[in-house]
Structure 1
């Protein structure tokens, strides 16, 4: 779904992230339950659905049925599908599926987290991004690269806004067109958001910049407000704020709640074009997955 705010010339894309919400759950969600949930979300009218991942089932067992889920989705839909990959094998598996529009890759600017999350160094991951871009071009996909730990990290790795800009520049040089600055552990603040994002938008006007924020419930709305006032054109969120990163070992923070994003944008007079009845159905159905 593309929407325009009164203070922005660029369309805003809302990305619903059930994959991120589900991936850390301890109990495996049956494939048929995932399918029912995703099919409801596909009818709401989001721009993109981050629906699954092509990663090692040992690393993320919850997503081991992504291909089986994909085969049962109600497609085509005006909502585009995004799948997460963590290495070249995952890329090669994902590009085989014509139904998938976007491949998302977590590129951490924290060396410690890149090793933890993808078992590779930042330098190796930059090579993976290059290879992913080539395969995406060949198979008519688009790459979304997440600047993971983009607002700081809990490991003591060096972080600054200059480091964020440096890696954004490196990715743009490689040919990345969509970059999402990802919080991962909830250390973003409105001040950091409004400091980091506007210079990136100004420096790289042709690039689509998004935010993937994690937050405690108390801080969600102030982060959402900061994001859109800072020029965010792509916002990741998950229904009820479920989820977080299982590799980051932080139980206190979840995703930005989609209903808070909708509430904020409605308050700005933004025409969302969502099917709110289907949205309410998805909200009710979610209790079958998230207990």
Structure 2
């Protein structure tokens, strides 16, 4: 019997692209840019975050941006990042948001720095987050941050990645995004880690995970312009069909050792997937408009 091919899911991440920019981007300009992206046809738009304005001042206007978004003629769903239960409760008050993203670092040092709580406490937060999502008809997306290594000397290996993926799945997480926080992933690491996760969690054939508890595996990769295509190719050939990216590769992590390290560039991802004959069903005219406006958004 022929297996059905998994559809491609593109998650466009203006939130990640904007959050590290020092000069405040006007709320109306943010909303205009995201409204264009909503017309392109992406599966999901990672549009904002409900975190402390002291932590990420650029996104202090997420609620105002949300009020200006036109969701009347889009198939795209909205995702917002939260770092604690207070933020999750705040995000749950907005019916327009479909997904709550939570960064779960398998580096103890980074988890403390990023969410002011350790790994063990963050597992408890995720359990409560899942309950909140069930109560408010939302889905949690858990990012396995520092999923390809960390700069702190904290323990990392493939077994640690798989251990935490197992634990998160056991609590009912339905979407895991393996995240390359500092751009240290390589095509070799991707090919080593991703196929095993997809086989275990998306096939539903393992003893631990039944078909009713399938977990979607995605990738949130950071890269320099010189290594983007090899990472995209490795991810695609490993079976990944859920990709986070940002137009022109804007954003990324300020802790990366190379200043050129940013998000995967959406245009590179689209280009590669087109060569594979994937039907992306994107509105290229609106995409080109978004590319043009990005010059003003990101100065």
TM-score norm. by structure 1 comes to 0.96
Q: 1:211 — aligned with what?
A: 219
The answer to whether the 8 Å contact 1:180/1:210 transfers is yes
Match of residue 52, structure 1, among 48, 55, 68: 48
The answer to whether the 8 Å contact 1:8/1:231 transfers is no
CA distance in 1, matches of 2:276, 2:116: 42
- What's the CA shift for 1:249? 7.8
For residues 218-233 of structure 1, the aligned pairs below 5 Å read 218-233=226-241
Deviations 1:138-161 (A, max 9, x none): 000000000000000011001000
For residues 252-267 of structure 1, the aligned pairs below 5 Å read 252-267=260-275
Q: 2:33 — aligned with what?
A: 37
- What's the CA shift for 1:280? 0.3
Q: Does 1:148 align with 2:145?
A: yes
The answer to whether the 8 Å contact 2:10/2:44 transfers is yes
CA distance in 2, matches of 1:202, 1:232: 11
Q: 2:79 — aligned with what?
A: 82
Q: 1:113 — aligned with what?
A: 110
- What's the CA shift for 1:128? 0.6
CA distance in 2, matches of 1:245, 1:190: 19
CA distance in 1, matches of 2:260, 2:120: 31
Superposition RMSD on alpha carbons, in Å?
Answer: 1.4
TM-score norm. by structure 2 comes to 0.93
- What's the CA shift for 1:245? 2.7
SS in 2 for 1:204: helix
- What's the CA shift for 1:251? 3.3
Q: 2:194 — aligned with what?
A: 197
CA distance in 2, matches of 1:249, 1:69: 32
CA distance in 1, matches of 2:17, 2:257: 15
Q: Does 1:188 align with 2:196?
A: no
Match of residue 133, structure 1, among 121, 130, 133: 130
CA distance in 1, matches of 2:162, 2:6: 21
The answer to whether the 8 Å contact 2:253/2:261 transfers is no
The answer to whether the 8 Å contact 1:80/1:100 transfers is yes
Unpaired segments of 5 or more residues in structure 1? Answer: 1-5
Runs of 4+ with deviation above 4 angstroms: 246-250
Q: 1:282 — aligned with what?
A: 290
Q: How many residues align?
A: 286
Unpaired segments of 5 or more residues in structure 2? Answer: 203-213
